Amino acid sequence: MTPPRLIRFNKPYGVLSQFTPEGRWRGLKDHIDLPGVYVAGRLDADSEGLLLLTSDGALQARIADPRFKMEKTYWVQVEGIPDEAALAALRSGVVLNDGPTRPARARRLDPAPAVWDRHPPIRERKAIPTAWVELIIQEGRNRQVRRMTAAVGHPTLRLIRAAIGPYSLEGLAPGAWEEVRG
């Protein structure tokens, strides 16, 4: 019996969290050609960063199911400069249309994280500055991070998942993947 596999993948902008393409979005098969691995959790096509794939159903559930409270770390480029009140609101949980979020860890990243260029680039407006925020959550509702930053008055311009639990993006270029050993 082959041991379970765990793959770290840096999902580029415009790629779905599924193997088959759909509409204007590409699928994972353009980057990963491995039989028997499945996505553990989702990342929207317009988001970037760490996606884990595994051949182990129990591990897939532990990663994806909010009941296991595996932390997910996001680097979020937002419109405007969040003040302490906006960050405090994120930390205490914000009310979304589907109910309140759990409290999150939130801080401004200054300096901004060293990230790759996005293609296409984000929309920037000369009169409105942008800032990077690190947001760490333990749930994963549909477009939750984007809705949270919008709820505190700072719409998301770019969203990168930097880590899931102990697994990080470190050392992975966009579109690259590697098997986690041990």
- Catalogue the active-site residues: 44
Helix (H, G, I), strand (E, B) or coil at 160: strand
Q: Which of 90, 89, 66 is nearest to 139 (CA)?
A: 66
Tell me 77's DSSP state: E
- Containing 60, the helix (H) or strand (E) segment is helix 57-64
How far apart CA 149 and CA 145 sit, in angstroms, is 6
How far apart CA 10 and CA 50 sit, in angstroms, is 5
Helix (H, G, I), strand (E, B) or coil at 44: coil
How far apart CA 5 and CA 179 sit, in angstroms, is 7
